[in-house]
Structure 1
Amino acid sequence: MELKVEQASEIKGVVKAPPSKSYTHRALMVACLAEGESRLQDPLYSADTMATLEACQALGCEVEVGDDHCIVQGTGGDLETPGDVLDLKNSGTTLRFLTTMTGLTPGCTVLTGDDSLRGRPMQDLLDSLSMLGVKAYSTRNNGLPPMVITSGFPGGRSEIKGDVSSQYISSILLSAPYAQNPVDLQVIGDFKSRPYVEMTLDIMDKFGVYCQQRPGNQFHLEKQTYQARDYTIEGDYSSASYLLGAAALLEGEITVQNLFKGSKQGDKIIVDILENMGANLIVKEDQVTVKGTLEPDKSIKSRNDKSSRSGIDDSTKSSNVTGDLLFTSNLQGIEVNLENSPDLLPTVAALAAVSQGTSHIMGVEHARYKETDRVHTMALELSKLGVQLKEEPDGLIIRGGAHGGEVESHSDHRLVMALTLVGLLTGDMRIKNAASHQVSFPNFPQVMMGLGCPVEII
């Protein structure tokens, strides 16, 4: 599947944000471990979250799937050993969370996935689990899936590095209430992506489990049991970033509902980022409105200043020429640290590619360990569109000035949607292997078309 994206001069409408992928994963697993029946309202049904749902079923949890809800019959932590190897497709979250959770089964569990998933590093989590008595190992002894986990979660004291993946930390915390003994987890070094751990603690608390946070990034969990409840999944700021970003680039106005001002999602920083880039936003308790403007011109205006900091020629404002008409983005370049919201890297990089001036994105070295090395793949694909940039170990320096062209998604859902933003301004964009958007935003093309954006599946 490919996406063909043409220039869109206007965007308009009201749309509900897709449900949070992160909260859906966590809600399914906690409801699976809980005692009693939980009703999860507005879950995200995507490739990744279905991998989690089906894995919970394989562990003996009954899940009734409805259009806008699912009913989960909790196991109380009494999990079954899967009857077969669990194929988790491309879901790194599912892999990491289940690596701890399947230690609660009475037998032996094997976790695997597609080619991309089998390249996801796991050794730091394996080392930390070993200190807690969990026997989990890589079948090839290289720290990569397939993984084998045998029965038993004794508990005790452990430590884990905080600068690789917050999912390792969340994995241990989610299942720690069911360990045989209390669990003390020490996060060492830089604690990156901490908001994702705060989301984990939030949903644990909602289902009745208390985690004591101690000074120095220490977490203490006593033996406890989750209690079933009715729970509504909030909208996803990561997925909404493409909608909000498109509105900031184009003429018109959209309102994205189900985005909560008090959310613990780190990616809600996209609102501040867009405001700092010059977008006009109205933020309410449960929705965000963006009013965009597009500047027509007849000539490309040069600004022959140089950026001594980046060493990149910052001489042309971001523009798109269609026939005799030139459109330029009114967004300005930005310097931003995305250490706590690495999933926004593709969105912000795409916006930077069609903004005026030079942007510097930093703090995202851990984004190299996602579905793809997102620092490198974004640099590679934007360079195909004429963008001058510099790849750094932990980020990108980007000068606005993209044009249309053909790009590759690398089967990464966030690249598909981020590169679509560039095409909405430049036109003449084709995104290859675009079906991966279904991982987190299954109806993304349809939603964009409904807002007046010429995005076509071919």
Structure 2
Amino acid sequence: MVELKVEKASEIKGAVKAPPSKSYTHRALLLACLARGQSRLRDPLYSADTLATLKACQALGCDIELEDEGCTVQGTAGELKTPENVLNLENSGTTLRFLTTMTSLAPGCSVLTGDNSLRTRPMQDLLDSLQKLGVAAYSTRSNGLPPVVVKSGFSGGKSDIKGSVSSQYISSILLSAPYAQNPVDLQVVGAFKSRPYVEMTLDIMDKFGVQCRQEPGNKFHLDQQTYQARDYTIEGDYSSASYLMSAAAILGGEVTVLNLFKDSQQGDKLILDILEKMGASIKAREDQVTVKGDSPESKTTGKITSPLTSIDVNLENSPDLLPTVAALAAVAQGTSHIVGVEHARYKETDRVHTMALELSKLGVDVTEERDSLTITGGAHGGVVESHTDHRLVMSLTLVGLLTGEVRINGAEAYQVSFPNFPQVMEDLGCPIKII
């Protein structure tokens, strides 16, 4: 087990390229696999989660050649093969959700499973919606959790799905719907949370040559179509870049993050507005963002507080920002209210609870509600746990950079989305050590 030791940083400064988007990498691999012809994917993220998707595509008969700055994918035109073995998706919930629909295009039966954490991820809403579309997919233990068995066949037709639990259920159906035997009509019912992730899905589907018709009432219509191979460059990830930009805001540094696009469909681009409202200076150009913060001061309480001020924010459409914003609130002046986060309970961990738990170990006053966190700044050092969640590791690092003396157990989880995170932070001047 890896432990990170984080010491107080005086200032950070520099320019760094944002890690490639995990969300776009997952989607690009799957669409290149389903496409007709050979695609060239440039600058994909090779991390634990995305490699789970890559290996699953290979198991379904897709030929992928890895290269230093990309990969070449020989598409299947939707003609998948039956996996020879159970698909072990490790800890990647995105892979699990997306492959549940996609494996219905393969002959025979496919079995999807993963590690202990993945086997706690809820799937029943997706399984119920797929059943209406003629997909025989079910939980082996009849509890709505993985392992999941999927039989060959995707009839199509009409279905509906809740929009309040996971946008990945919606994206899962949309990504594979062009290969159903009949047109697919999908209606999202109730609150449509994390909608930007679905817009991201539709954006990349369009780039690979498939059109989805959106209709009033959160309805989506897809006719039979075939994805077309293309040369595609993965954009930088606002979720991962949030830690780099937040460090500059907290510590009074100046960091420029390259490969972040102003016109991105990523919902986590909201981090720019959040940092600006909390007091940081933000300069966003077409393909890069510069963040500058003021220097922190020591208060009469003996605790070091960032010059950032508290914030009231709704993260309904940006759930992956919860750990980052919670960490910012833990070192800001005043009391912050973070709402719209109930669906963050269904990620790698129950992030609402685990962030509250770990921040409390660092002396932070946290009140946890079902859909919110209320956090009063004033953290100190301490020992915290990762709960095998990559976003907890990187967000808790932010607190340690201000307070010093923070140790994070189980820190290897950062490899899920940001494989060289400690090195990138050190290069910017952050004293982070793997011990």
Match of 1:98 in 2: 99
Match of 1:335 in 2: 312
Structure 2 CA distance for aligned equivalents of residues 165 and 290 of structure 1: 31
Which of 410, 418, 424 does residue 441 from structure 1 map onto?
418
Q: Which secondary structure does the structure 1 equivalent of 2:395 belong to?
A: helix
Tell me how large the CA RMSD over aligned residues is: 0.8
**Residues 80-104 of structure 1 deviation map (CA, whole Å, 9 limit, x = unaligned):** 0000000000000000000000000
**Residues 150-179 of structure 1 deviation map (CA, whole Å, 9 limit, x = unaligned):** 000000000000000000000000000000
Q: Deviation of residue 295 (structure 1)?
A: 3.2
Q: Is the 8 A contact 1:319 1:354 kept in 2?
A: no
Percent identity over the alignment is 76
Q: Which secondary structure does the structure 1 equivalent of 2:260 belong to?
A: coil
**Residues 165-205 of structure 1 deviation map (CA, whole Å, 9 limit, x = unaligned):** 00000000000000000000000000000000000000000
Q: Is the 8 A contact 2:386 2:410 kept in 1?
A: yes
Q: Which secondary structure does the structure 1 equivalent of 2:374 belong to?
A: strand
Which of 404, 427, 434 does residue 450 from structure 1 map onto?
427
Match of 1:319 in 2: 303
Aligned runs of 1:40-119 on 2, under 5 Å?
40-119=41-120
Q: Deviation of residue 232 (structure 1)?
A: 0.3
Q: Deviation of residue 252 (structure 1)?
A: 2.2
TM-score normalised by the chain length of structure 1: 0.94
Structure 1 CA distance for aligned equivalents of residues 296 and 320 of structure 2: 29
Structure 1 CA distance for aligned equivalents of residues 341 and 271 of structure 2: 15
Q: Deviation of residue 389 (structure 1)?
A: 1.2
Q: Deviation of residue 296 (structure 1)?
A: 3.4
Instruction: Say whether 1:194 aligns with 2:171.
Output: no
**Residues 44-100 of structure 1 deviation map (CA, whole Å, 9 limit, x = unaligned):** 000000000000000000000111100000000000000000000000000000000
Structure 1 CA distance for aligned equivalents of residues 300 and 395 of structure 2: 25
Match of 1:3 in 2: 4
Match of 1:249 in 2: 250
Match of 2:296 in 1: 295
Instruction: Say whether 1:346 aligns with 2:323.
Output: yes
Q: Is the 8 A contact 2:319 2:343 kept in 1?
A: yes
Q: Deviation of residue 251 (structure 1)?
A: 2.4
Q: Which secondary structure does the structure 2 equivalent of 1:424 belong to?
A: helix
Q: Which secondary structure does the structure 1 equivalent of 2:186 belong to?
A: strand
Q: Deviation of residue 379 (structure 1)?
A: 0.2
The residue identity in structure 2 corresponding to 1:44 is L
Match of 1:404 in 2: 381
Aligned runs of 1:176-255 on 2, under 5 Å?
176-255=177-256
Aligned runs of 1:367-386 on 2, under 5 Å?
367-386=344-363
Q: Which secondary structure does the structure 2 equivalent of 1:187 belong to?
A: strand
Structure 2 CA distance for aligned equivalents of residues 271 and 123 of structure 1: 35
Match of 1:149 in 2: 150
Structure 2 CA distance for aligned equivalents of residues 395 and 26 of structure 1: 30
Q: Which secondary structure does the structure 1 equivalent of 2:229 belong to?
A: coil
Q: Deviation of residue 281 (structure 1)?
A: 1.1
Match of 1:275 in 2: 276
Instruction: Say whether 1:387 aligns with 2:364.
Output: yes
Q: Deviation of residue 448 (structure 1)?
A: 0.3
Structure 2 CA distance for aligned equivalents of residues 200 and 98 of structure 1: 14
Aligned residues: 434
Q: Which secondary structure does the structure 1 equivalent of 2:211 belong to?
A: coil
Q: Is the 8 A contact 2:20 2:43 kept in 1?
A: yes
Aligned runs of 1:28-47 on 2, under 5 Å?
28-47=29-48
Structure 2 CA distance for aligned equivalents of residues 122 and 447 of structure 1: 35
Structure 1 CA distance for aligned equivalents of residues 365 and 287 of structure 2: 38
Q: Is the 8 A contact 2:297 2:307 kept in 1?
A: no
Instruction: Say whether 1:259 aligns with 2:260.
Output: yes
Runs of 4+ aligned structure 1 residues displaced above 6 Å come to none
